[in-house]
Structure 1
Amino acid sequence: MAVTPPVCDFGWKAPDFSLPGTDGKTYTLADIAGPKGTLVMFICNHCPYVIAVRDRIIRDAKELMEMGIGVVAISSNDATAYPQDGFDKMTEVAAQFALPFPYLYDETQTVARAYDAVCTPDFFGFDADLGLQYRGRLDGSRKEAGPTDLRRDLFEAMKQVAETGNGPAEQIPSMGCSIKWKDAA
């Protein structure tokens, strides 16, 4: 079932984290933060919404990183229920698609809960002071990639953040598969 996250809470501060990456390193928010802003993405391996736009996520991340935006992707899905989202499979996906950003595993789901992540993909765009400026969609794609000339909502918003420190007033929420939460013990 498709879900959409809430609208942007401008200025909300990014919670810190310390998570293992598919490259064998452990990353904190400070390791990721860019001088012009930071993009934290919640994605996973199996979600059709993510798969449909993975190439666009990679394209936009590369261009944003060149502008001084730090970029990271985090997978928080329950790998017991969804083995294709486990760390070993994440490592395979990171290598197969040559992800230009760290791909981190939130096994305990505490980071997803701290960010109030709702779906995959869920994008959090922060300014240089780690205040939230964008929580919207990548573009108008859904379960299938839309036309190649779609407006690049995430890219344009983060470019604006890099240039002005502020995100756009109007934002369209992302849509995707719900985070696969572990059963409460």
Structure 2
Amino acid sequence: MAVKTPICDFGWKAPAFELPGTDMRLYTLSDIQGTNGTLIMFICNHCPYVRGVIDRLVRDVRELQALGIGVAAICSNDAENYPEDSFENMKRFAAEHGFTFPYLHDESQQAAQEYGAVCTPDFFGFNRELELQYRGRLDESGKAPAPPDAKRELYEAMKQVAETGHGPVEQTPSMGCSIKWKAA
């Protein structure tokens, strides 16, 4: 079922975390934080929305990293019921798509809960003070191939954050598959 993210709560502070990456390192928010901003993305391996945008996402992230934006992706899905999202499959997915950023495993789902993540992909763009400035989508394509003239909404928003510390006032929510929560 497709889910949309809530509107951006400008100024909301990024919650701290400590999560293992597919490169077998342990990462904290301060390890990820960039000099001009930070992008935390909740994604997973099996979601058709993520799969539909992953190549454009990797391209945009690479360009954002060059602007001083620190980036990490987090997979919080219940891997027991969704084995495609297991840690081993996360390693393969990151390698297959050439991730230039840490891909973190949120097995406890605590990070997703603290961030209020609702879907994959769900983007949280912060300024250098770790204040939320973007909670929108990658672009207009959803899970379909993007038209050649598609506006690079995430890239443009985070470039603006890097340059001014503020995100765009107008933002279109991201849409994707719901986070696969563990049974209570």
TM-score (norm 1): 0.98
Q: Which runs of 5+ in 2 are unaligned?
A: none
Matched AA of 2:17: F
Matches within 5 A, 1:18-97: 18-97=18-97
Distance in 2 between the 1:94 and 1:57 partners?
A: 12
Matched AA of 2:8: C
Matched AA of 2:64: L
Of all paired residues, the percent bearing the same amino acid is: 65
Matched AA of 2:179: I
For each residue in 1:22-79, what CA deviation from the matched residue of structure 2 results, as whole angstroms up to 9, or x when unmatched?
0010000000000000000000000000000000110000000000000000000000
Matched AA of 2:9: D
Shift of 1:148: 2.9
Distance in 2 between the 1:148 and 1:16 partners?
A: 37
Matches within 5 A, 1:1-185: 1-184=1-184
For each residue in 1:6-34, what CA deviation from the matched residue of structure 2 results, as whole angstroms up to 9, or x when unmatched?
00000000000000000010000000000
Q: Secondary structure at the match of 1:40?
A: strand
Distance in 2 between the 1:2 and 1:56 partners?
A: 20
Distance in 2 between the 1:99 and 1:23 partners?
A: 11
For each residue in 1:112-141, what CA deviation from the matched residue of structure 2 results, as whole angstroms up to 9, or x when unmatched?
000000000000000000000000000001
Distance in 2 between the 1:44 and 1:62 partners?
A: 19
For each residue in 1:85-107, what CA deviation from the matched residue of structure 2 results, as whole angstroms up to 9, or x when unmatched?
01000001111111010000000
Q: Which runs of 5+ in 1 are unaligned?
A: none
Q: Provide the aligned C-alpha RMSD in A.
A: 0.5
Matched AA of 1:104: L
Distance in 2 between the 1:29 and 1:68 partners?
A: 15
Distance in 1 between the 2:67 and 2:79 partners?
A: 34
Aligned length: 184
For each residue in 1:135-159, what CA deviation from the matched residue of structure 2 results, as whole angstroms up to 9, or x when unmatched?
0000001121221320000000000
